[in-house]
Chains A and B, each alone.
Chain A
Amino acid sequence: MGDPYASLSLIDDADEATAVEPSFEQKRTYFKKLENPHAFSSIFGDAGDDLWQSAAKRNRVVVLEKELDEVLRSYKPHIAKAEWKKLMDYRPDFLKRAGDTPERVEPLINRLQKVKIPLFSDEKVEFNRAPAIRIISELEKILA
C-alpha cells in the first residue's frame, strides 16, 4: 500500500540523501495544503519565527497605510481642492518614515485612529478650505 500522504510530502524519500532545501514558496504551498496552522514551526523551522514576524510587521504597515488613507479620506471635504494634491504628495513620505522604525508602527496606527473624524452613518462633513500644510503639520506631530 502506498503512502497516502506521499502527495503532501515536500521531499521524496528516494532523494533524501541528495535533497535540497525547498524554497520559501514551496514551503508556503505545502503549508497551505496542510491546512494546519500548528505545522508552521515544523515546516519553516526557527527561521519561521523571523518570517512570521516580518510577515506580521508587513501586515501592520499595510494596516497603517489603510488607517492613513481612512484619515485622509475623512478630511477630504474639509481640505481645499487645490490642496489635496499636496497631501497626496506627502502621503508616501509619511508612510516611508513611519515604516522605517517598525516598533513605531503600532503606536502610529493608534494615533491615526484617534484623529479620524468620528462620523455616524448619516453624517457628512461640510466643505471647508483647510490648507494641506495644517494637516501635514499635525501628521508630523503624530510622527514625531
Chain B
Amino acid sequence: MPPSKNASLLRSVFSEVDAIASRISKQEFPILLRPIAELRKVTSVDFCPLLVDAALITHPDGFRILLNSDGGRASELKERFNNESRERMMHPRWRFSIAHELAHTFFYDISKKRPQLAKTFTSGGGRAALDNLERNCNKIASHLLLPTAMFRKEFLRLKAITPETVLSFAQRAGVSLQALLIRLNQSDSLFVRRYYRGCIVLIKQYEGGTVIRAIAKPKSLNIAQQLSLMRAGDAWKLKTHDGSEISPFLLPPTSFATLDIVTAMSKSPKQYKLCVAEVGSFEGVSSFLITFEEN
C-alpha cells in the first residue's frame, strides 16, 4: 500500500475520532477519556510497573490498557481515571498516554467477540509499518484530546496569542503545552485565518543548555528566517538581525527584536514582539513559553 493509502486511512480515523470526542464531550473542553474508553470496549485501565510506557491487551470482551507506574500509586491513579471530571482531571501526561492507547483501538473491529485488528498502516516514508502506526497513534491521540472543530473554535476565539492565553488553553483542554503546540503546528489554516505571522515556542533550559521542546508556526505565511529555521529538538540559538544573541531567560515579559524576513528577491529587517513566561520549573530544569509576532 503506498503512503497515500496510509494518509487516507489516517484521515478516516481522524474523522471518526473527532466525531466521537466532540459528541461525548458535548463540544466542551476538556475531553474526558473514560466515556471514550467505554465506547471503545476498554473494560479497565490499570497502572502497574512495566518495562514500557504502556501496553494494549485484548480479551474476549474488549481491551485492557496497562500504563507504567510505580506500584505504590497504582490504586490512586486508577481511581483518578475512573472518577475523572472537569474539576478533577488527570495529569496531562497520563491523559496523553491513555489517549494514545485508545487511538490503537480504532484499528480494531470491536463488533466481534474478541477485538480483531481490521486496519493497518503499511511501511512507507522510510518507516516500518509499526513505526507508522505508533507515530500516527500520537496524532490520533491529539485529535481525541483536541478534536478539530472544537480546537479551531477555541484557538480562533483567543483574543491574543500570548504565553498566558496559550497556557490557559492547554489547561482548559487538559493537555500539555507540548501536545498543544504539536497539534497547532499541524493546523496551518488556523494561523492563516488569524494571519498570525509569528510562532509559539516551548523551550527547556537545562544545566547544559537550552533546547526547543515544541514549536508551532505557520507553513503558508512568510515569517522571519530565524523562526522558520527553528525545529523541535534543536538547541536554542536565536540571533537578531544584527547578530546579537537572544537569551529568553533575560528577557522582560514583553520585548521587541529585529529579525530577518527573506523573500526570493530580498532580505529585510522586521520587528517582532516577543512575550515570555516561565511555565514550569523542576529540579533545575525551567520551561519557558515564548510567542513571536510580527509587529
Contacts and interface: CB of A to CB of B under 8 A. Distances in A.
State whether these chains interact: yes
Nearest to A138: B51
B58 A126 contact: yes
B44 to A, nearest CB: 10
Contacts of B60: 122
Contact of B51 (A75, A120, A123, A124): A75
Contact of A128 (B48, B52, B58, B117): B52
A138 B133 CA distance: 23
Interface residues of B, number: 22
Interface stretch (A9-17, A38-46, A49-57, A111-119): A111-119
Nearest to B59: A123
Interface of A: 71, 75, 78, 80, 114-115, 117-120, 122-130, 134-135, 138-139
A126 B104 contact: yes
B151 to A, nearest CB: 28
A82 B58 CA distance: 23
Interface of B: 46, 48-52, 55-60, 64, 66, 71, 104, 117, 128, 130-131, 133-134
A119 to B, nearest CB: 7
A124 B52 contact: no
Main secondary structure of the interface of B (DSSP, over half): mixed
14 contacts: A80-B130, A114-B48, A114-B49, A115-B51, A118-B46, A122-B59, A126-B58, A126-B117, A127-B130, A128-B130, A128-B134, A129-B130, A129-B131, A130-B52
Nearest to A135: B51
Contacts of B55: 78, 117, 125-126, 128
Contacts of A134: 51-52
A139 B46 CA distance: 21
Top 7 nearest A-B pairs by Cβ distance? A129-B130, A138-B51, A126-B56, A123-B59, A135-B51, A130-B52, A114-B49
A129 B127 CA distance: 12
Contacts of B50: 115, 117
A124 B64 CA distance: 10
A94 to B, nearest CB: 12
A60 B41 CA distance: 41
A75 B57 contact: no
A121 to B, nearest CB: 9
Nearest to B50: A115
A126 B57 contact: yes
A3 B16 CA distance: 89
A80 B127 CA distance: 13
Contacts of B130: 80, 127-129
Nearest to B101: A126
B252 to A, nearest CB: 41
A124 B71 contact: no
From B56, B104, B133, residue with most partner A Cβ within 10 Å? B56
Nearest to B104: A126
A122 to B, nearest CB: 5
Given A115-B50, A123-B59, A126-B58, 16 more contacts: A75-B52, A80-B128, A80-B130, A115-B49, A115-B51, A117-B50, A118-B46, A118-B66, A123-B58, A125-B56, A125-B57, A126-B104, A128-B130, A129-B128, A135-B52, A138-B51
B128 A71 contact: no
B129 to A, nearest CB: 9
Contacts of A115: 49-51
